[in-house]
């Protein structure tokens, strides 16, 4: 049962494989927090991705919400 209107997640921009995996699950890029994490000598962005309840229900029933 999906109670809320959306599910969202955060990931850093140095994980492009993870971003592709989430995109295959129909998560969409919702925003970018610029230079919020210092990692290995560089400032990195945090990506915010999400999927809405209606998008999830449409894809889980075999139809496309787009």
Residues 8-62: tens digit of each pLDDT: 999 999 999 999 999 999 999 999 999 999 999 999 999 999 999 999 999 876 5
Range of the domain at 35: 6-60
Please say whether the beta carbons of 59 and 21 come within 8 A: no
pLDDT at 4: 85
Please say whether the beta carbons of 23 and 41 come within 8 A: no
**How many domains does the chain fold into?**
1
Residue 40 within any structural domain of the chain: yes
pLDDT at 28: 96
Residue 15 — φ and ψ, nearest 5°?
Answer: -120, 65
Residue 41 within any structural domain of the chain: yes
Of 49, 10, 53, which is closest to residue 27 (Cα–Cα)?
49
Please say whether the beta carbons of 10 and 48 come within 8 A: yes
pLDDT at 60: 74
pLDDT surpassing 90 at residue 65? no
Residue 10 within any structural domain of the chain: yes
Residue 66 within any structural domain of the chain: no
pLDDT at 62: 54
Residue 19 within any structural domain of the chain: yes
Q: Residue 58 contacts by C-beta under 8 Å, 6 or more apart in sequence?
A: 64, 65
Residue 1 within any structural domain of the chain: no
Residue 65 within any structural domain of the chain: no
């Amino acid at each position: 049962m999906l109670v809320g209107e959306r599910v969202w997640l955060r990931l850093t921009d140095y994980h492009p494989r993870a971003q592709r995996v989430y995109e295959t699950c129909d998560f969409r890029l919702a925003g970018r927090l610029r230079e919020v994490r210092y990692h290995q000598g560089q400032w990195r962005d945090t990506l915010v991705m999400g999927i809405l309840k209606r998008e999830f229900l449409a894809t889980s029933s075999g139809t496309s919400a787009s």
